[in-house]
Structure 1
């Protein structure tokens, strides 16, 4: 990895083009699944390389493995299924090692030792017995303590705070929504976590959207730098914020593109599908792999320094409106969020599209939303989306999370 990082701009561009051709040529020669999938691929024309989706990979892993790689000699795991399309995947051991070398390198930017720094982990955990204890054992080996994301009540947050008083954690890591809820608790208590636990150096949020207002809240009440991480189980780290607050793409072992709906590469600044090539995975092809996410590269990007300006959400989280207009589901969520959380009454909420013109907003709050707030939310939705939408409000004591513990902020039933 260090040898890749030490290349000058010209050497780096040559390196990327060479690795792209090498990995395609390797799988065309040694992987029967990919040979069949990319039968019209031309090594000298990158645009001829087909884009693969999760659906293309939903077949037995044995059918997708490269010749010479048995399941006993590789790393095998399963995607989270947050996109609705889970599948098993494989990495050869060198590729897997390089994946972790990238993580170790990025964490070191914030003086965190990936192998020894103590982690406060706000993350999901399987609740069946064997998997539960397996994760707990891994937590011990990984020097981390796991806080429940299934219980974010005031009393539980009080107990979590006591744990921070008694433990020398070096950093916080986990789902954005859970850490934001803990920060709101700290805000209510008028407590800055850094004063309670001085050993904390940073907070890394992952797996869910981080809005600017939430980032400010976290920074204020955790009292440490907030780092946005973007990754995928099957690929590793895709982007990580540096100390200059730039969300830098990992281009050491990945090649990342933004494509339109016709698989055409978009210029910097244009919104499109995030498509990734794993340059080193010989056990299993991930070549022009459509993650199902929508994002934008900054106009300040260069091939050597790609900056992810926005991660908008998943392609399957799309709002379709009666007029025919389409919008990312998180646009709807964001518009509502700017109104709904102003006074601190509402703790968290989710939005579901029930019909073309009908939406349900489920929320957890101290008090039920008043007429003024309801009207303000409807007005904002009319302004940013369109008029004459039917909005149902439902107050809940707790919001349903996925089995992983993630909070899916927008869901469409269309």
Structure 2
């Protein structure tokens, strides 16, 4: 990967096509789910002569994985590890990963960290995980932390006392990099500012953020407090390490392992520069194939070359999950930022969460410095109705805190109305 990142796009596409043929052939011969599906649809791996031919193959959706988990395992698979998504958008997804996939994802991660002059063995603080995830790692965490000089802090524990302790650990370890959810790292940063703690003299080189949308104010808060660059990453346990930001600002796709398609609501490809759902084929997943996997995320591809000189293709924009979008009463689709900015402009609001239950009802949870007044409630309702529609019921509820999802992530917007 250190060599191939400098290849031309034609060279990378040739590599993708070669590996795609291998993956499809293996799936057709050794994966019961795909063997039956390809036969039913009259598809043959040997018919693929270009990357465009991939669009002839069916999408893989979460419901199919849940319904056919065992049949998606390759008959040649050995030592598969069970994984699951955090379930922040609903029911967790259970799937399996082989050693080839793990090694490729780890290599992609470390190549990207080297772009920022950080390498294996440099001290790292990781802010991550749910209680379940962290508990399962207890037996190996000590050894792993010692070998990789990594300290894992649980993102779901955010009490004042815990935050004080976490910041003390960061000061003691003096890591070269931070890694975690942007909401968690920005929360750390805000708490440090509140306590008047100086955290920008520790030699932190970069904060890698992933798994959530990175907002501008989060980037600014993290960079200012910790005195470091902020590098965005995009991927997941299911789809793999898809893209990472280089120091020149581009989100480079891990093209050696990942084929990214952008499709519209009908599953048809959209032109470069237009937004649609991100569909991923992970070329290192022969033991449990992810072929044309619909991520539920919305993004935009770019055909521009990055000034860093790498041939790796670029994701121009990652707009969020389809459930981060809202649907107005008249059917207009808008990003959650349309409502987020209403609340962020209100100094009384410390934290919030927007839940669109239906086209007719949206709930707004707010954490306030003082009791919710009729005036503030009316101001929120009017602002939301101006965007969602005058007939929409807006329920404003004051709460003591906004809990993170079970995964440890935080989501500002959840829509139960299909936007894509």
Correspondence 1:121 to 2:91: no
Alignment CA distance shift 1:38-1:187 (3 Å): farther
CA drift of 1:283 comes to 0.8
After superposition, give the CA deviation of every residue in 1:43-63 in whole Å (9 maximum; x if it has no partner). 243221111111111146432
Correspondence 1:43 to 2:51: no
Per the alignment, in what secondary structure is the counterpart of residue 86 of structure 2? coil
Per the alignment, in what secondary structure is the counterpart of residue 67 of structure 1? coil
Correspondence 1:173 to 2:179: yes
* Selected match of 1:103 from 92, 106, 109: 109
CA drift of 1:253 comes to 1.0
| Inter-partner Cα distance in structure 1 for 2:140 and 2:371 | 38
1:340/1:373 contact within 8 Å kept: no
| Inter-partner Cα distance in structure 2 for 1:6 and 1:80 | 34
1:229/1:240 contact within 8 Å kept: yes
1:170/1:201 contact within 8 Å kept: yes
| Inter-partner Cα distance in structure 2 for 1:35 and 1:339 | 51
1:90/1:284 contact within 8 Å kept: yes
* Selected match of 1:193 from 185, 188, 199: 199
Correspondence 1:157 to 2:160: no
CA drift of 1:109 comes to 1.1
| Inter-partner Cα distance in structure 2 for 1:128 and 1:324 | 38
CA drift of 1:82 comes to 2.9
Per the alignment, in what secondary structure is the counterpart of residue 290 of structure 2? coil
Alignment CA distance shift 1:280-1:156 (3 Å): closer
| Inter-partner Cα distance in structure 1 for 2:166 and 2:135 | 25
After superposition, give the CA deviation of every residue in 1:367-408 in whole Å (9 maximum; x if it has no partner). 345566545544543444433433222222222222222223
Say which is worse superposed, 96-105 or 31-40, in terms of deviation: 31-40
Q: In the alignment, what sits opposite 1:23?
A: 23
| Inter-partner Cα distance in structure 2 for 1:317 and 1:167 | 36
Q: In the alignment, what sits opposite 1:247?
A: 251
Give the structure-1-normalised TM-score: 0.87
| Inter-partner Cα distance in structure 2 for 1:244 and 1:125 | 33
- Map 1:5-404; keep pairs closer than 5 Å: 5-39=5-39, 40=41, 41=43, 42-44=47-49, 45-59=53-67, 61-70=69-78, 72=79, 74-113=80-119, 115-127=120-132, 131=136, 133-134=138-139, 136-137=141-142, 138-195=144-201, 198-298=202-302, 300=304, 304-327=311-334, 331-332=335-336, 334-342=337-345, 345-368=348-371, 373-374=376-377, 376-404=379-407
Per the alignment, in what secondary structure is the counterpart of residue 295 of structure 1? strand
Structure 1 unmatched ranges of 5 or more: none
CA drift of 1:16 comes to 2.0
| Inter-partner Cα distance in structure 2 for 1:282 and 1:305 | 23
After superposition, give the CA deviation of every residue in 1:79-121 in whole Å (9 maximum; x if it has no partner). 33334343333333233212211111111111222x3122222
Per the alignment, in what secondary structure is the counterpart of residue 188 of structure 2? helix
Per the alignment, in what secondary structure is the counterpart of residue 389 of structure 2? coil
1:126/1:132 contact within 8 Å kept: no
| Inter-partner Cα distance in structure 2 for 1:229 and 1:413 | 26
Alignment CA distance shift 1:153-1:262 (3 Å): same
1:276/1:287 contact within 8 Å kept: yes
CA RMSD of aligned residues (A): 2.8
CA drift of 1:128 comes to 9.0
CA drift of 1:139 comes to 4.4
Alignment CA distance shift 1:364-1:216 (3 Å): same
Say which is worse superposed, 103-112 or 118-127, in terms of deviation: 118-127
After superposition, give the CA deviation of every residue in 1:228-252 in whole Å (9 maximum; x if it has no partner). 1111113421111110121111112
Alignment CA distance shift 1:335-1:154 (3 Å): farther
2:183/2:218 contact within 8 Å kept: no
After superposition, give the CA deviation of every residue in 1:195-233 in whole Å (9 maximum; x if it has no partner). 2xx231111111111111221222222211011111111
Per the alignment, in what secondary structure is the counterpart of residue 125 of structure 2? strand
After superposition, give the CA deviation of every residue in 1:279-315 in whole Å (9 maximum; x if it has no partner). 1222121111111211112363699442222222223
2:349/2:367 contact within 8 Å kept: yes
2:2/2:111 contact within 8 Å kept: no
